[in-house]
Amino acid sequence: MRNRKPVYILTSLFITSFAIIGMLAFLSKKAITKKNGFSRRLLTSALIPRKQITVPTKLVKLISMQSGKIFFQEESPYEILSTNFSLDSLHAIKLHLSADKKLGTNVRMFIQDHHLYLASRDMPAIITYDLESGNAYNHVLRDYFNQETMFSTDHFILKARDRASESHRFIKLDLNIKDSIPEDNFSDRKVIGGFETSGKLYYDTATKQACYSYFYQNGFICMDSNLNLTLKARTIDTITHRDIKVARIARSLTMKQPPQLINYNGCVADGKLFLESMLKADNEYELDFNENSIVDVYSLKDGGYKGSFYLPAYKGKKAHQFQVIDQKLYALYGKTVVLYDLEFIADL
């Protein structure tokens, strides 16, 4: 009888420890700490990974899909990767470009037919590379830029820095016409530096608009290919002002302190903007928000909010880039690409 006492003690300790863990997990789900003053409407419980592929090097960007292939940009600008839609195969395509120090991490690639475009922000230039012949041509630009999107063959919209005023504005670039570079008429030329209006530029083929979402302020804008403002929309957060202080150190401009990110990653597809928000809604659990990326969906026709979903982390890492193609979401996690079904967006 005396020998059984430790068994009882151990059993009760075991049950108590589980009860405590359960209670703490329940309380952590209940604990909604910081209020940001807005709510989200979740479209689905969780995205389920359908397929995945791991490649030898870190991926920077999903370039594009065409002819049944998906192209990926690697950290090195001298090679790109291609796979099929279901991520079953992998091919490396070597780019025979002459080595250049400025052709480093600040390059974003685009593909149209057999033409690969390398937008080099550090040069500044757009390099056209023929994937069939291996010939390259360097289109050197006057102004530095830090966002770019291609809207048709040889045509780009860039967010570029004006050397004289130090302000940033959108410019339209036709690689075949070098003399005339039209500028938008809505950017504020009094804002010095690109920090306050930092963001991400996309092109939606469905609505034929270039759209730009802000990193540090509420909302997004869209423009047509002639740089006319077509949409100015609010995002669901309640941020009303941008708290950015620009510091001038000799000739350089920087920010005095890192501001709160409002929205960061994003992509456009079929008339919708998929925007990763960095702010937790009041009806969200801290744990869900911290362990996943929350993506808000907006219409690019009227700017309306459609709903949100969680993009899961992979091996503890959040996606650093994602792209929606044909109701499928491809998320990049370092060297891994994960494919998720996104069928519910068809009804939005």
Residues lying near other proteins in the complex (CB under 8 A) are found at: 60, 104-106, 121-122, 124, 144-147, 161, 163, 193-195, 198, 200, 215, 249-254
- CB nearer to other proteins: give 144 or 285: 144
- CB nearer to other proteins: give 48 or 164: 164
| Nearest distance from C-beta of residue 248 to other proteins, angstroms | 9
- CB nearer to other proteins: give 75 or 130: 75
CB-based contacts of 213, cutoff 8 Å, min separation 6: 199, 200, 202, 219, 220, 235, 263, 266, 273, 275
What whole-number distance in Å separates Cα of residue 173 and Cα of residue 180? 8
| Nearest distance from C-beta of residue 38 to other proteins, angstroms | 23
- CB nearer to other proteins: give 7 or 249: 249
Q: Which long-range contacts (CB under 8 A, 24 or more apart) does 101-108 make?
A: 103/77, 103/127, 104/77, 105/60, 105/75, 107/73, 107/77, 108/60, 108/61, 108/73, 108/148
What whole-number distance in Å separates Cα of residue 127 and Cα of residue 247? 33
- CB nearer to other proteins: give 68 or 258: 258
| Nearest distance from C-beta of residue 181 to other proteins, angstroms | 17
| Nearest distance from C-beta of residue 203 to other proteins, angstroms | 16
DSSP string, 185-206: SSS-TTS-SSSTT-EEEEEETT
Backbone φ, ψ for residue 290 (5° rounding): -75, -30
| Nearest distance from C-beta of residue 99 to other proteins, angstroms | 17
